[in-house]
Amino acid sequence: MTKKKLKFIDLFAGLGGFHKALHELGHECVFASELDPTLRNVYQANWGIEAQGDIKRIVEKEIESIPPHDILCAGFPCQPFSKAGKQLGRDDDRGTLFDEIAKILAFRKPKFFILENVPFIKQHDNEETWNYMHNELSNLGYEVDHQVYSPQDFGVPQHRKRIFIVGSLIGLDHFSFDEIDEQKTSLIDIHQFIEEKPKLFKELPKTNQECLKLWQTFIDQIPKETKLPGFPIWGMEFGATYPYDSTPPSKMPKYELANYKGNFGKQLTLEMTKKEQLQNLPSYARVTRKFPDWKQRYIKQSRDFYEDNKKHINGVVAEIAKYPSQSWQKLEWNVGDGERKLDNYILQFRASGIRVKKVDFFPSLVCTNTQIPIIGWQKRYITREEGLKLQSLDGISLPQNDNAAFKALGNAVNSKIVKLIAEKLIQEQPKIVELNGAKKVINGTSICSYETNEIKYERIK
């Protein structure tokens, strides 16, 4: 790494994952922006710099207030491109925030940039979004490269794939993601990230614990020689007979639907109104379009599993059916032939069901407090400090409110991965020489014009 202190800006700064990485490499943050006022206060407390607000307003009204800098960092909002969201991409107001990044790059022309987002951005809209971004960056003179990484690739037990996009005005001859790949490791000890007796923790509510006990009873009733399914178990389908591979139930007349059974085998009688009939179907079955193939597959698998095992599980199924939340009536057993004890695993209460994961890494931290990972054998949610470790943000402060804290962690960029990339990307500084009466930057095979005051570059092919 160069000994020279470079200047960077931190856009959509959040908790400061980029800041921590570049600060540890000896560089200086000269500007930060963050829309959330709570996170702006936390950012100032952690890093001693006041983060500005709406970057769209700043770029539109006072772009000159963004100081000259060498490195632009931005983990721009991922929700418009996330598979968990509506995938509106650039049609979403937040999706156009990439354009603000491009405007800053055009105005200040920093040597480098590092961007982070969800991997799906590469495939979004048949790659139109990615092609647009790549073309914009290339037209600004940047050589661009990208790679997808997860913290688990580098010894941090969290499964969280993100795409990292780098760019350089002086070429990328000195940089290769291959060098970063060489630092990958399969050695992960999740227990180094878990406190055995944390001082402050949030216990799993008793109602959740009772739900897990009920599902444990369900598991215990399955004969040992019967493999627990790897597909999602949708309890509502136990005893259901409504059609799922042809006309959706919502399109069927009431008298015809009365021939079938809904949730947990409840008869959809003629005495019910059509609305009542639909209310006694799983929420995902109330759509007006034909069910997608994957949904048809899960429905069939759950029904077949029930038919094969109902003599063992009917009693406990009747209890599971009493839960008002359908998400508590689903189980995702993701541990294969592992020991059939829920307490031995990492758990999550998700909209898609109760998820059971092996104790090798945590599921991705997400920006909703209802999906905070649970340490089964301690019957508690992970602590704030454990969440910081999983994002390589040890030692910094979080919002006082737990909901805000875990939302921020879910939106954070993993600082360790950024540091690995930044160390290689900015380690080699260009040499400035006089050539034909003008200052030139020589970097590998790239020759660029150089202007010290305005930090302007022009790639010469």
State the Cα–Cα distance between residues 109 and 134, nearest whole angstrom.
Answer: 16
CA neighbours closer than 13 Å in the CB half-sphere of residue 3 = 0
Query: 337: Cβ–Cβ under 8 A, 6 or more apart, which residues?
Result: 227
Asked if residues 222 and 313 have their Cβ atoms less than 8 Å apart, the reply is yes
State the Cα–Cα distance between residues 291 and 67, nearest whole angstrom.
Answer: 53
The token duo for 295 is 């949904």
Asked if residues 42 and 435 have their Cβ atoms less than 8 Å apart, the reply is no
State the Cα–Cα distance between residues 349 and 370, nearest whole angstrom.
Answer: 7
State the Cα–Cα distance between residues 63 and 54, nearest whole angstrom.
Answer: 12
Catalytic residue among 29, 78, 211, 448: 78
Q: Calculate the alpha carbon distances from 29 to 13, 24, 56, 170, 445 in Å.
A: 11, 11, 20, 21, 30
The token duo for 408 is 């921020």
Active-site residue, 211 included: no
State the Cα–Cα distance between residues 99 and 272, nearest whole angstrom.
Answer: 53
188 three-state secondary structure = coil
State the Cα–Cα distance between residues 208 and 284, nearest whole angstrom.
Answer: 23
Q: Give the strand pairing for 112-117 and 28-32.
A: unpaired
DSSP classification of residue 153: G
Active site residues: 78
